[in-house]
Amino acid sequence: MTKTFLLLIVSFLILTLQSASSSTIFQDDLKGWKAGVAKVKITPGESLWMAGYASRNHTSDGVLMDLWSKALVIEDSKGKKGVLITNDLVKIPKSTSDRIRDRIGATYGLTRSQIILNCSHTHSGPVLYDSFSNIYPLNEDQLNKVKAYSEKFENQIVELVGKAIGSMVPAQIFAQNGVTRFQVNRRNNAEALSNNINDLKGPNDYAVPVIKVVNKAGEIIAVAFGYACHGTVLDIYKFSGDYMGFAQFELEKMHPGVTALYFQGAGADQNPLPRRTVPLAQQYGRTLAAAVERVLSEDMRNLEPVLTTAYSEIDLAFAGLPPTKEELLEIMKDSSPTPGYLKVSAKCLLQRLERGETLKNTYPYPCEVWKVGDQPIFALGGELLVQYAIDLKKVFGPDIFVLGYTNDVMAYIPSETVLREGGYEGTRSPIFTTSWNTNIPATILQEMSRLAEKAGVQPVK
């Protein structure tokens, strides 16, 4: 074998090894996030009873804008997935939420800690079965329609997650908080005087959390964003996503091909004021979309492809014992101007007792924490008051994202101050005749801290 031939062989081997090494490095560089997004229209195809206002006295009479459910699936470098599902609905009851998440788990191999099921809390969406259908005076025909719609909705969500998983592509994920200030603390500022108030009072959280997902070409494929403010601009009888729906519409119009997902924050005691007109809902939607667009246009934190999640359900106690059969009968017989929904609720609770069920004095409350790269996401159930976001940010920093209305919306979740003061948000629980125990804020915050530690989220110093 000649010396020249040996040199050629050695050179070939060196080049081959270098090529293999370069290929390995390139492949390693490609190991990152994958993401997929999908959406489905959930606008009812017929007139249904609407959710959110006890004063409504008939079914819907049209559509102002379509309602949507949307799913964003992310997968980290080790193959762990998380799915954020947003819905243009006022609430999803525990029974429905449990079935949806269990079916997603069974079909796609996800645990509850990997699923965030959030509602925008629009008061212009339909009633779901086993939710407000127990409060409104629905006749048998209306109840059957609500049940059929609810069953279809469940199937749509399970299929939606599958479509999002099937659309996953290599991606980068970014996060940052923006700001806008049209929320008003409704407990501390009179709505009738809102046009003339120069000194707004009460706790607030004006943050606009934003998540941006881009593909390999640098094109935005999804934007998830939130705000802590009730979806109560509109009280008409036409379906719509309220200001949150208009915000999503504006962002998708500005970015053709992008899916915009809205998640509700800790806005249970925050109202958009003034309100009650379609132009105002459009104005707030454009204002929120502009806040998101500003964040998208500036530098955002690039999140490392690591996802950790933690979930639990804790027993929250009521202040007293559940109502007895005799107490419920007395409420139903009361000839005083007792609100109609209280009598309907009493009837429903009485029916549960007559079926042999037991009314418990605690409620299983869902708590969840994600860490997406270095972005903590805290997701809590119920109509969460803003003080919870404030308290969590004091411990874990101002950049965390806080979601309410997640996985189960059973009642208002008042702060210590509101429990002490009472009033609309302070006296309501899943058992309407009694309030929550005064220890629930401490119990919730302690559990969220425990889950944060489990997910690797550290308190700020």
% of the chain residues with pLDDT over 90: 74
Measuring CA to CA, which residue among 131, 133, 129, 132 is closest to residue 150? Answer: 129
What is the spatial distance between Cα 305 and Cα 373, in angstroms, rounded to a whole number?
6
Please report the sign of the dihedral spanned by the C-alpha atoms of residue 102, residue 104, residue 105, residue 107: positive
Strand partners, 83: 73, 115
Model confidence pTM above 0.85: yes
Statement: residue 2 has pLDDT above 80: no
CA distance 251 to 412: 30
DSSP secondary structure of 81-115: EEEEEEESSS---HHHHHHHHHHHHHHH---GGGE
pLDDT recorded at residue 338: 58
Cβ proximity of 105 and 63 under 8 Å: no
pLDDT at res. 22: 36
pLDDT digits (tens, 9 = 90+) for 23-71: 333 334 448 999 999 999 999 999 999 999 888 889 999 999 999 999 9
Contact assessment for residue 262 and residue 146, using Cβ atoms and an 8 Å cutoff: no
H-assigned helices in 298-425 = 325-333, 340-354, 386-396, 416-421
pLDDT digits (tens, 9 = 90+) for 104-122: 999 999 999 999 999 999 9
Specify the higher pLDDT residue, 29 or 363: 363
Residue 146 C-beta-side C-alpha neighbours within 13 Å: 26
DSSP code at position 55: T
Residue 27, pLDDT score: 36
Categorize the per-residue pLDDT at 330 as very low, low, confident or very high, splitting at 50, 70 and 90.
Answer: confident
pLDDT in tens, 263-321: 999 999 999 999 999 999 999 999 999 999 999 999 999 999 999 999 999 999 999 88
Collapse the DSSP code of 298 into the 3-class scheme (helix H, G, I; strand E, B; otherwise coil) and give the result: coil
> What integer is the mean pLDDT of 232-248?
98
Nearest to 114 by CA among 153, 77, 74, 154: 74
Q: Which two tokens stand for residue 41?
A: 């229209």
To which residue do tokens 């997004």 refer? 37
* 367 contacts: CB under 8 Å, gap ≥ 6: 311, 312, 313, 314, 379, 380, 381, 444, 447, 448, 451
Query: How confident is the model over 380-434, as pLDDT tens digits?
Result: 999 999 999 999 999 999 999 999 999 999 999 999 999 999 988 998 888 777 8
